[in-house]
């Protein structure tokens, strides 16, 4: 039998893994509320409680979602610098967001059911 070494729990690594699976859906949800440029999306993610998310994470994801037709962008004049790309959800993005939200809800319901303590044996020793 192989015994695994005890490794310290790294909450940041776990959070990163969870976010990686949900980031595209979260960005689409934010854009469904209101179009935004990349900097604004980073700010909204931080305000939502995700902590610091780098621009190096957000911009490549926006580019990939644009190539997939989930978001579109338009150049808008910036009051403090060069024009910036403002991203908005496309019709296809709305369809994908709806499907992904349903899939996410089924998934979290399943995980919650597995993590929920058994009702018939609330105290386990």
pLDDT digits (tens, 9 = 90+) for 64-101: 999 999 999 999 988 888 888 999 999 999 999 999 99
Strand 71-78, strand 81-89: pairing: antiparallel
**Residue 43 above 90 pLDDT?**
yes
pLDDT band at 42 (very low <50, low <70, confident <90, very high): very high
Tell me if 95 sits within 8 A of 79, measured CB to CB.
Answer: no
Inter-CA distances, 20 with 16, 89, 91, 99, 116, Å: 6, 20, 24, 18, 24
Domain 21-111 has CATH 3.20.20.70: no
Question: pTM of this prediction?
Answer: 0.79
pLDDT for 118 equals: 65
Distance CA(28)–CA(100), nearest Å, equals 10
Distance CA(73)–CA(87), nearest Å, equals 4
The first and second tokens of residue 111, run together, are: 């995980």
pLDDT band at 125 (very low <50, low <70, confident <90, very high): very low
Tell me if 87 sits within 8 A of 69, measured CB to CB.
Answer: no
17 Cβ neighbours under 8 A, 6+ residues apart: none
> What is the phi-psi region of residue 2: left when phi exceeds 0, alpha when psi lies from -120 to 50, beta otherwise?
beta
């Amino acid at each position: 039998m192989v015994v695994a070494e005890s490794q310290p729990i790294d909450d940041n690594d776990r959070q990163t893994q969870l976010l990686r699976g949900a980031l595209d859906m979260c960005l689409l949800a934010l854009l469904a509320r209101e179009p935004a440029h990349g900097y604004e999306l980073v700010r909204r993610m931080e305000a939502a409680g995700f902590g610091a998310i780098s621009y190096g994470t957000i911009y490549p994801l926006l580019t990939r979602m644009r190539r997939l037709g989930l978001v579109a962008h338009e150049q808008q004049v910036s009051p403090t610098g060069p024009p910036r790309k403002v991203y908005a959800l496309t019709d296809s993005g709305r369809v994908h967001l709806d499907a992904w939200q349903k899939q996410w809800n089924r998934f979290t319901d399943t995980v919650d059911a597995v993590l929920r303590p058994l009702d018939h044996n609330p105290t386990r020793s």
